[in-house]
Amino acid sequence: MSGKCVFLGTGGSMGIPVIGCSCDVCHSDNPKNRRLRPSIVVEIEGKTLLVDPGPDVRQQALQFGVDAIDGVLITHAHNDHIAGIDELRVYYMWRKQPIPLLMSRESYYDIAQRFPYIFHKDERSQGLIANFDVQLIEGERGTARFLDLDIGYCSYEQAGMKVNGFRFGDFAYVSDIRVFPETIYEDLKGVANLVVSALRFSPSPLHFSVDEAIAFADRVGAKRAWLTHIAHELEHDSASAKLPDHVRIAYDGLEVPF
């Protein structure tokens, strides 16, 4: 299974620049220090999958030319990952067919409370709302058959919320991770290209630090690791210079073949 990952956003929950912040990173001229909320597109076997329609999804789709999608995956229901779900209406308008959507039962319950109208099939809406064909992930770990693709998934927890990591062949996207079961190393065995979240160098209760993310990637055995979900404490160039060669800080627009 080969394909390509395009980073649509690599920032933390507030994005960079942070509103009202006077720090050097938020005022940097380096475009790699401008980060939208975390999201990727995976292009695989002729299909385009969007992972996490966050609050910046419209801007991201325009900026990076995501003119059509075949399906959507959701890691978890925190707002920085799903607040733009309503914007996916435009893809429904173009394709005139429900958009396949893969997520856990827990994510579904959470999102359906905040966007109840999205999941109602209502003739009166006349295409005014997105329309999804929801496929729920079964259990904590395994492989889902989605759009004729075998997509591996693992589960962990962030602040009491279930989060899923996804695997496409030897590429995996594992965001918002800090507390996880040991079985995740089996789930990610053989992953060569790993995207993993790392907020900053200092510890966080909800996210890996940079050092924790590197230790995780090395225990997985990934040949290359890309850090994402970056906070404004990390300046791209100076932080990158401190990292081992096989670990890179992702940036918006970066494309990674796998």
Nearest-approach distance from CB 253 to Zn ion, in angstroms? 19
Hey, which residues between 115 and 144 contact Zn ion (CB under 5 A)?
Answer: none
87 is a site residue for Zn ion (CB under 5 A) = no
* Cβ-based burial of 62 (10 A; exposed 0-12, middle 13-18, buried ≥19): exposed
21 is a site residue for Zn ion (CB under 5 A) = yes
Nearest-approach distance from CB 52 to Zn ion, in angstroms? 8
Nearest-approach distance from CB 131 to Zn ion, in angstroms? 26
159 is a site residue for Zn ion (CB under 5 A) = no
215 is a site residue for Zn ion (CB under 5 A) = no
Q: Return d(Cα 76, Cα 161) in angstroms, integer.
A: 7
State the distance between the two ends of the chain, measured CA to CA, in whole angstroms: 8
Which window, 15-23, 54-62, 115-123, 128-136, contacts Zn ion (CB under 5 A)? 15-23
Helix/strand/coil for 172: strand
179-213 in b/e burial notation, b at 16+ Cβ within 10 A? ebeeebeebbeebebbbbbbbbeeeeebbbbbebb
The correct pick among 23, 128, 159, 215 for binding Zn ion (CB under 5 A) is 23
Residues within the interface to Zn ion (CB under 5 A): 18, 21, 23, 26, 80, 176, 232
